[in-house]
């Protein structure tokens, strides 16, 4: 029923992680060998090791936006840094376009970063001595592009992130949101296939954060990058992700689409996150619709399968008959009825009340 | 009882003082009593150093070297050969810059021979008219930071020229222009190396601590032995002295950067070299620049001392003027040194802050504006110098160079001003001087010298124990023991006395004045500017006014130290008070504290760890000044170091004496730093 399952991915994944471990400590690798793949955090901690990432395996396909969500210390940033090889994973395999980056030498790695990867940082990490334009042109210049071409290209990026007129400012003269726009522009300057974002909006005020998320969605709708995005904000994850990986103590607790995570949390930990999520704001009709059986009596309206429940709830709840759900081409792909909506939105609370009454 | 003791450090201190007093009282001076003075068990050490060095220099590992004069191979020791080549190279660089400005034949001789140069009198580097050099420097200032800096540079250069100090000033400048960049480069390299390797950092750290406290003089002696005397030796001594702060600040700056900056560089695809040069160093620029600044300061501080081992320039003139008690002339030269310091300081800062404009579409003239301006100045300057030949027919072409001591001089006025002060305030000054010496300094000195060695050890190690436990007590004990086993314990006590008196007064002045000034924004700005400016002055300069007022006495030294050493105390106090968090201030306000309560209960406790670090700096400043005070005439370690400078076998003595001075500083540093760190931890600062 998930969207991801319905889109066939015959192509090779862009990023593939295979049993990736990252353990900090002096004798981490020898301990890991002895542990035979079963890592208990407590045992390692006794030996003075800290488990950062514990057996992470997943694929990310071209154009997909995977969000790694977790609280601080859950290992989400460590996992991201393993995949960008800012730190070396203790064990496992990480393939980028089929090549194991853990086996790459420094030169290959630099080549990879110069051509395929871009990264945005939580605290922007702009170079304080360079202007906006110079910061954006920086990855191009270290690659060896000449000044004129790199500045021209950087100027395009300035336009892309809406900073025209501020290209000669220094980072310290910009607001947080503007600085992060520079960070985004810099990470996109080399036209990377893979885009890493490490809590890019966490250091921003709520309103700016919302604005930057919109900006991010706009960019992604134009660029279609393969994205690995780290955040501790569950709402942000729900809002942006194609799929979400929820991490706790280095372990991926659940990896699924936002709708599936909200509707079917795999563990108690995940359920706690989903409890207070306003479902009508998160779920799309397609993730709650019933299958369509021909000859069913339907009302005169239709709804788009990609519509968020909130936006069509009034219409559905006021209708006496089930409503047809159609895709972009106008074909009916399912039906939705008022009782189903009521159940999805309020059903999980019902159970609680029953228990309370006892 | 014991628990009470553990809790109340003040009780421990009182007990310590009581024991100290009793020891002081009951141990009588006697040559045989080990509790009074330890035997000079280390007196063989200086001789051993002398022997090792002369073996190294004159015997170890002989190699065959071709001597062009006798056209034969000769056997020479390798170390001497290396230092000789190095000296020659450095000397060539200095001469090259010097002759570029002042003219001469030595550079040409290097590539030919004296005979050839004498035979061809036309082959002489002409040198530039002073107007061209001054104009060029002004344009440089303009290009880097606009009119303000240009004005400063122009006026400074004109002063130097018009007051007839051009030649020595340019000699000094040529020497600094080699020493400073070398120091910066070496310091940067070591700083980066220490940043990359933990082992290097661990090895470098104690060395840097030591290097900062060993007095300038001590560096001169071994340098003199290895490299002889002359400009190159002065430059080498300067480099050795000026590099440690650069290393330290480079390391500090790089370590302060968060991991994200390096990561962003790596993700931008930097090679490790690009990461270093384009990301890390520029981002750590602030601290590295402070390092550059310090290097320039140290270089100019060394200008005078380097003249003791043959560096030409303003230093030697200043030394001669001071020796002859010519305060007026000394002041004029002192101002020149300060001006050079300030100009170099501002130029280097401005250079580091330059930016590029990518979009302005400039014409040829605009693009090369500054080069064209220089070309104009060059042509006009040379034309003027040419015309000058006809304007000043009596031999001195003022438009080419104002000869030494043929410029304007206000020395006479200054001197008469000094004389006037002497005449007018003679009795007041003399009275104060005598009172201070007889009633204060002599008594304190007597008390210091009357301390049995066991009492000193008990006091210092006791304080170390109370502050930082057995480890600190043993460390400071080891420092003291080293001094006690040399033949110079008494001299060290005199150094300690001069330092203690001055640090006490400096500390009080610094904290009081700092607190007063921190009360409002205007006076804060003023006092920080004051600190910045006075810190740029080479320490030697401070001796001029005090000698003027107090002559050659301990008073002069003590006052010079106090003025010089209260700068860090002041600065750290102001900074400490300013760094008290606003929320704490607000909490105090809402609790209804008055001004005095705020200071006593909030500001002082919160800022005191920082102030303690300031006092630590005060100690370092005071020690360096005490030793320089030897020039005025003291009878402490510094005087002996100065003495060993003119002694053929002075290396060993000079070095060990220097280490003794460093031990005093390091012992105090150990105690103050431990305490400050503990307090910072307890207050949750950092």
DSSP B489-543: HHHHHHHHHHHHHHHHHHHHHHHHHHHHHTTSHHHHHHHHHHHHHHHHS-GGGGH
Q: What is the mean pLDDT of residues B166-183?
A: 89
* pLDDT at residue number A7: 45
Q: Could you tell me which residues come within 8 angstroms of residue A192 by beta carbon, excluding any fewer than 6 positions away? A: A115, A116, A117, A118, A225
Within 10 Å of residue B51's Cβ, how many Cβ atoms? 12
Task: Check whether A25 has a pLDDT greater than 70.
Answer: yes
Looking at residue B4, its pLDDT comes to 60
pLDDT of amino acid B478: 94
* pLDDT at residue number A4: 43
Confidence of residue A9 (pLDDT cuts 50, 70, 90): very low
Chain B residue with minimum CA distance to A148: B358
pLDDT bracket for residue A5 (50, 70, 90): very low
- Does A114 sit within 8 Å of B283, measured CB to CB? no
CB atoms B260 and A125 under 8 Å: yes
Residue-wise pLDDT tens digits, B572-595: 999 888 888 888 888 888 888 888
Contact yes or no for B270 and A110 at CB 8 A: yes
Asked whether residue B531 is assigned to any structural domain, the reply reads yes
Q: Does the beta-carbon distance from B269 to A190 stay under 8 Å?
A: yes
Kindly give, in sequence order, each residue whose CB lies less than 8 Å from that of residue B127, ignoring residues fewer than 6 positions away: B99, B100, B101, B102, B103, B104, B401
Residue A2 binned pLDDT confidence (cut-offs 50, 70, 90):
very low
The pLDDT-based confidence of B282 (bands split at 50, 70, 90) is confident
**Best residue in A104, A125, A152 for a mutation probing chain B (most B CBs within 10 Å):** A125
- Listing from the earlier edge strand, what are the strands of the sheet with A91-96? A50-60, A15-24, A91-96, A99-100
* Cross-strand bridge partners of residue B561: none
CA distance B570 to B577: 11
Type and span of the H or E element at B617: helix B604-628
Nearest to A151 among B266, B267, B358 (CB): B358
Rounded Cα distance, B8 and B12, in Å: 7
How many Cα neighbours within 13 Å face the side chain of A227?
30
B176 and B112 in a single domain? The answer is no
From B326, B358, B375, the end of a domain falls on B326
Query: What domains can be seen in chain A, in order of their start residue?
Result: 3-116+192-277 (3.40.50.300), 280-357 (3.90.1280.20)
Q: How confident is the model at residue B302 (pLDDT cuts 50, 70, 90)?
A: confident
Give the integer Cα–Cα distance in Å for B56 and B44. Answer: 18
Q: Chain centroid to CA B91: how far?
A: 23
List pLDDT tens digits, range A96-107: 998 899 999 989
Q: What are the pLDDT digits (tens) for A118-139? A: 999 988 889 888 889 999 999 9
CA distance B202 to chain A (A): 20
**Chain B residues closer than 8 Å to A166 by CB:** none
Helices (H) then strands (E): counts for chain B? 32, 2
Indicate if the pLDDT at residue A358 is higher than 50.
Answer: no
The SS3 call for residue A180 is helix
Structure tokens at A100: 């194991």
CB contact under 8 A, A168 and B258: no
Cα separation, B248 vs B212, in Å, equals 10
| Nearest beta carbon to residue B267 from set A117, A130, A131 | A117
Predicted pLDDT of residue A17? 92
Question: Rg of chain B over CA atoms, in angstroms?
Answer: 28
Query: What tokens does A268 get?
Result: 């108690």
Q: Nearest Cβ partner of B263 from A86, A129, A147?
A: A86
Rounded to the nearest angstrom, the minimum Cα separation between A339 and chain B is 51
Pair (B201, B303) in one structural domain: yes
Residue B395 pLDDT greater than 80, yes or no: no
pLDDT at B123: 67
Indicate whether B443 and B316 sit together in one domain.
no
Its pTM stands at 0.79
Q: Predicted confidence band at B91 (pLDDT cuts at 50, 70, 90)?
A: confident
Among A125, A129, A143, the residue with its CB nearest the CB of B264 is A125
- Residue A228, φ and ψ in degrees, nearest 5: -120, 120
| Residue B609, helix vs strand vs coil | helix
pLDDT of residue A1: 38
What the block records as the tokens of A251 is 């372990």
Does residue B110 sit in the same domain as residue B183?
A: no
Domain annotation covers residue B607? yes
pLDDT over 90, % of chain A: 28
Does the pLDDT value for residue B1 go beyond 70? no
For residue B219, pLDDT beyond 60: yes
Are B178 and B87 in contact by the 8 Å Cβ rule? The answer is: no
Residue A6 pLDDT greater than 90, yes or no: no
In a domain, B157, yes or no: no
Nearest Cα to Cα of residue A71 among A282, A274, A273, A275: A273
In a domain, B136, yes or no: no
Report yes or no: A135 at the B interface, CB cutoff 8 Å: no
Which residues of chain B does A186 touch, with a Cβ-Cβ cutoff of 8 Å? 264, 268
* B259-268, B330-339, B377-386, B440-449: least confidently modelled range: B377-386
What number is the average pLDDT over the span B542-555? Answer: 82
Residue B496 lies in a domain: yes
- Provide the domain count of chain B: 3
Lowest-confidence segment of A27-41, A146-160, B195-209, B508-522 by average pLDDT: A27-41
**Model confidence pLDDT, tens digit, residues A323-333:** 888 888 888 88
Per-residue confidence at B633, pLDDT binned at 50, 70, 90? confident
Instruction: Mutation target for A interface from B266, B268, B286: give the one with most A CBs within 10 A.
Output: B268
Q: Which residues of B touch A (CB under 8 A)?
A: 258, 260-261, 263-264, 266-272, 274, 278-279, 282-283, 285, 355, 357-359
Cα–Cα distance, A186 to A126 (Å, whole number):
9
Distance from CA of B275 to the nearest CA of A (A): 9
Residue A141 distance to chain B (closest CA, Å): 9
Buried b (16+ CB within 10 A) or exposed e, B355-365: eeebeeeeeee
Statement to judge: residues B308 and B183 lie in one domain? yes
- Is the pLDDT confidence value at B508 over 90? yes
Are B279 and A128 an interchain contact pair (Cβ–Cβ within 8 Å)?
no
> What CA–CA distance (Å, rounded) separates B434 from B428?
10
Q: Is B269 left (phi over 0), alpha (psi -120 to 50) or beta?
A: left
Q: Is B606 found in the same domain as B536?
A: yes
Burial classification of residue B648, based on how many CB atoms lie within 10 Å of its CB (0-12 exposed, 13-18 middle, 19 or more buried): exposed
Tell me the CA end-to-end span of chain A in Å, nearest whole number: 35
pLDDT above 90: residue B386: no
Per-residue exposure over B152-179, b if at least 16 CB sit within 10 Å of its own CB, e if not = bbbebbebbbebbbbbbbbbbbbbbbbb
More confident call, B500 vs B554 = B500
Same-domain check for residues B549 and B434: yes
B302 and B437, same domain (yes or no): no
H/E stretch holding B433: helix B411-435
Same domain, B174 and B304: yes
pLDDT in tens, A151-186: 999 999 998 888 888 888 888 889 988 999 999 999
CB contact under 8 A, A129 and B283: yes
Average confidence (pLDDT) over B515-524: 88
pLDDT value at B360 more than 60:
no
Across chain A, the runs of DSSP E, i.e. the strands, are 15-24, 50-60, 65-70, 91-96, 99-100, 117-120, 194-198, 226-231, 243-248, 251-256, 302-304, 323-326, 332-336
Write out the two tokens for B301: 């501080």
Cα distance between residue B653 and residue B643, in whole Å: 10
Q: What is the pLDDT of residue A353?
A: 52
Per-residue pLDDT tens over the stretch A209-265: 888 899 899 888 888 899 999 999 888 998 889 999 999 988 999 999 988 888 888
Most confident of A204-213, A239-248, B322-331: A239-248
Percent of chain B surpassing pLDDT 90 = 17
pLDDT, tens digit (0-9, with 9 covering 90-100), for B224-272: 888 888 888 889 988 988 899 899 889 988 988 888 888 999 998 898 8
Q: Which chain B residues are closer than 8 Å to A26 by Cβ?
A: none
Residues B464 and B518 in one domain: yes
Contacts of B303 (CB under 8 A, 6+ apart): B172, B175, B176, B238, B311, B313, B314, B315, B337, B538
Q: Do B285 and A129 touch (CB under 8 A)?
A: yes
Nearest Cα to Cα of residue B636 among B490, B427, B530, B454 = B490
Q: Which residue has the higher pLDDT, B21 or B5?
A: B21
| pLDDT above 50 (res B365) | yes
Contacts A117 to B, Cβ<8 Å: 267
Instruction: From residue A209, give the alpha-carbon distance in Å to each of A202, B96, B512.
Output: 8, 60, 48
Identify the closest residue of chain A to B282 by CA–CA distance: A129
Residue B362: its pLDDT value, please? 65
Q: Give CA torsion, residues B375, B376, B379, B384, to 10 deg.
A: -140
Which of B326, B350, B366 is the last residue before a domain boundary?
A: B326
Range scoring the smallest mean pLDDT among B87-96, B227-236, B248-257, B379-388: B379-388
Predicted local confidence at residue A252, as pLDDT: 92
Q: Do B263 and A147 touch (CB under 8 A)?
A: no
B60 belongs to a structural domain: no
Closest CA to B449 of B660, B636, B658, B629: B636
**Do the domain assignments include residue B413?**
no
What percentage of chain B exceeds 70 in pLDDT?
Answer: 93
A111 to chain B: closest CA residue:
B269
Q: A143 and B269 in contact by Cβ < 8 A?
A: yes
Q: What is the CATH number of the domain that holds B201?
A: 1.10.3720.10
Q: What is the mean pLDDT of residues B175-201?
A: 91
What residue numbers bound the domain in which B109 lies?
Answer: 77-119
Domain boundary pick from B301, B326, B351: B326
Q: What confidence category does residue B507 fall into, taking pLDDT thresholds of 50, 70 and 90? A: very high
The string of DSSP letters for B386-418 reads HHHHHH-TTS--TTT---TT-S---HHHHHHHH
Annotate A25-57 with b (16+ C-beta within 10 A) or e (fewer): beebeebbeeeeeebeeeebeeeebbbbbbbbe
Residues B87 and B217 in one domain: no
Smallest Cα distance from B686 to chain A, Å = 20
Same domain, yes or no, for B112 and B172?
no
Interface A:B, Cβ pairs < 8 A: 69
């Amino acid at each position: 029923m998930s969207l991801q399952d319905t889109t066939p991915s015959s192509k090779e994944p862009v990023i593939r992680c295979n049993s990736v471990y990252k353990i900090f400590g002096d004798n981490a690798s020898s301990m890991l060998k002895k542990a035979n793949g079963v890592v208990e955090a407590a045992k390692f901690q006794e030996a003075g090791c800290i488990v950062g990432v514990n057996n992470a395996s997943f694929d990310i396909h071209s154009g997909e936006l995977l969000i790694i969500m977790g609280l601080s210390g859950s290992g989400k940033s460590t996992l991201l840094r393993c995949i960008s090889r800012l730190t070396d994973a203790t064990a496992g395999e990480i393939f980028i376009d089929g090549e194991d980056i853990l086996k790459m030498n420094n030169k290959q790695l630099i080549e990879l970063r110069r051509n395929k990867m871009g990264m945005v940082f939580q605290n922007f990490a702009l170079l304080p001595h360079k202007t906006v334009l110079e910061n954006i042109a920086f990855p191009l210049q270290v690659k060896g592009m000449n000044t004129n071409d790199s500045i021209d290209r950087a100027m395009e990026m300035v336009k892309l992130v809406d900073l025209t007129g501020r290209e000669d400012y220094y980072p310290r003269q910009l607001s947080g949101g503007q600085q992060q726009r520079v960070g985004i522009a810099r990470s996109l300057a080399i036209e990377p296939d893979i885009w890493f974002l490490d809590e890019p909006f966490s250091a921003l005020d709520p309103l700016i954060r919302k604005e930057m998320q919109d900006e991010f969605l706009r960019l992604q709708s134009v660029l279609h990058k393969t994205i690995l995005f780290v955040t501790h904000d569950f709402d942000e994850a729900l809002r942006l992700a194609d799929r979400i990986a929820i991490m706790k103590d280095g372990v991926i607790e659940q990896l699924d689409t936002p709708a599936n995570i909200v509707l079917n949390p795999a563990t108690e930990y995940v359920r706690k996150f989903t409890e207070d999520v306003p479902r009508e704001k998160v779920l799309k009709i397609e993730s709650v619709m019933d299958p369509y059986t021909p000859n069913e009596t339907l009302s005169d309206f239709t709804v788009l399968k990609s519509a968020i429940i909130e936006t069509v709830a009034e219409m559905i709840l006021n209708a006496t008959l089930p409503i047809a759900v159609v895709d972009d081409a106008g074909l009916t792909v399912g039906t939705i009825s008022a009782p189903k909506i009521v159940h999805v939105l309020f059903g999980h609370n019902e159970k609680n009340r029953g228990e309370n009454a006892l | 009882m014991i628990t009470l003791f553990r809790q109340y450090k003040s009780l421990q201190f009182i007990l310590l003082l009581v024991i100290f007093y009793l020891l002081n009282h009951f141990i009588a001076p006697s040559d045989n009593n080990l509790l009074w003075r330890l035997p000079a068990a280390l007196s063989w050490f200086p001789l051993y150093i002398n022997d090792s060095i002369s073996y190294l220099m004159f015997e170890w590992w002989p190699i065959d070297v071709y001597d062009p004069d006798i056209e034969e191979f000769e056997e020479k020791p390798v170390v001497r050969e290396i230092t000789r080549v190095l000296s020659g190279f450095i000397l060539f660089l200095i001469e090259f810059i010097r002759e570029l400005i002042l003219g001469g034949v030595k550079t040409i001789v290097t590539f030919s021979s004296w005979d050839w140069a004498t035979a061809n009198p036309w082959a002489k580097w002409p040198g530039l008219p002073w107007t061209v050099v001054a104009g060029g420097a002004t344009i440089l200032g303009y290009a880097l930071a606009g009119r303000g800096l240009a004005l400063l540079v122009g006026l400074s250069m004109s002063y130097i020229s018009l007051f007839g100090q051009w030649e020595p000033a340019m000699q000094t400048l040529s020497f600094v222009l080699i020493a400073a960049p070398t120091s910066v480069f070496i310091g940067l390299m070591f700083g980066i190396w220490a940043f990359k390797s933990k082992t290097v950092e661990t090895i470098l750290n104690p060395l840097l601590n030591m290097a900062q406290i060993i007095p300038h003089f001590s560096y001169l002696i071994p340098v003199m032995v290895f490299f002889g005397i002359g400009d190159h030796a002065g430059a080498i001594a300067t480099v050795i002295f000026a590099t440690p702060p650069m290393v330290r600040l480079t390391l500090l700056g790089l370590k302060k950067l968060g991991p994200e900056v390096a990561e962003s560089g790596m993700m931008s695809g930097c090679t490790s070299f690009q990461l270093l040069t384009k990301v890390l160093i520029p981002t750590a620029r602030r601290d590295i620049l402070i390092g550059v600044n310090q290097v320039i300061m140290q270089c100019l501080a060394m200008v005078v001392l380097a003249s003791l081992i043959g560096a030409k320039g303003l230093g030697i003139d200043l030394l001669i003027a001071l020796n002859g008690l010519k305060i007026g002339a000394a002041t004029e030269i002192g101002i020149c040194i300060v001006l050079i310091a300030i100009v170099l300081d501002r130029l280097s800062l401005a250079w580091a802050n330059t930016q590029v404009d990518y979009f302005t579409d400039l014409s040829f003239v605009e693009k090369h504006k500054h080069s064209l301006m220089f070309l104009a100045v060059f042509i006009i300057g040379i034309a003027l110098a040419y015309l000058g030949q006809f304007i000043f027919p009596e031999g001195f072409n003022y438009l080419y160079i104002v000869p030494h001591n043929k410029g304007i001089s206000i020395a006479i006025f200054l001197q008469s001003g000094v004389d006037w002060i002497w005449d007018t305030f003679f009795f007041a000054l003399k009275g104060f001087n005598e009172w201070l010496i007889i009633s204060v300094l002599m008594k304190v000195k007597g008390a210091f010298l009357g301390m049995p060695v066991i009492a000193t050890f008990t006091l210092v190690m006791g304080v170390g124990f109370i502050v930082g436990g057995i480890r600190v007590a043993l460390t400071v004990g080891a420092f003291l023991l080293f001094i006690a086993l040399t033949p110079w314990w008494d001299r060290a006590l005199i150094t300690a006395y001069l330092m203690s008196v001055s640090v006490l007064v400096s500390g009080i002045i610094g904290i009081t004045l700092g607190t007063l000034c921190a009360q409002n924004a205007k006076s804060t700005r003023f006092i920080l500017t004051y600190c910045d400016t006075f810190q740029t002055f080479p320490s030697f300069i401070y001796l001029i006014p005090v000698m003027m007022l107090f002559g050659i006495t301990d008073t002069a030294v003590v006052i010079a130290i106090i003025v010089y050493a209260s700068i860090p105390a002041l600065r750290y106090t102001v900074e400490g008070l300013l760094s008290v968090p606003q929320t704490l201030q607000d909490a105090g306000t809402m609790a209804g504290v008055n001004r005095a309560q705020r200071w006593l209960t909030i500001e002082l406790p919160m800022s005191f760890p920082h102030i303690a670090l300031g006092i630590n700096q005060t100690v370092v400043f005071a020690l360096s000044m005490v030793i320089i005070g030897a020039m005025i005439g003291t009878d402490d370690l510094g005087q002996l170091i100065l003495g060993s400078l003119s002694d053929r076998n002075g290396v060993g003595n000079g070095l060990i004496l220097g280490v003794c001075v460093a031990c005093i500083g390091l012992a105090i540093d150990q105690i103050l730093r431990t305490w400050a760190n503990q307090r910072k931890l307890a207050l949750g600062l950092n």
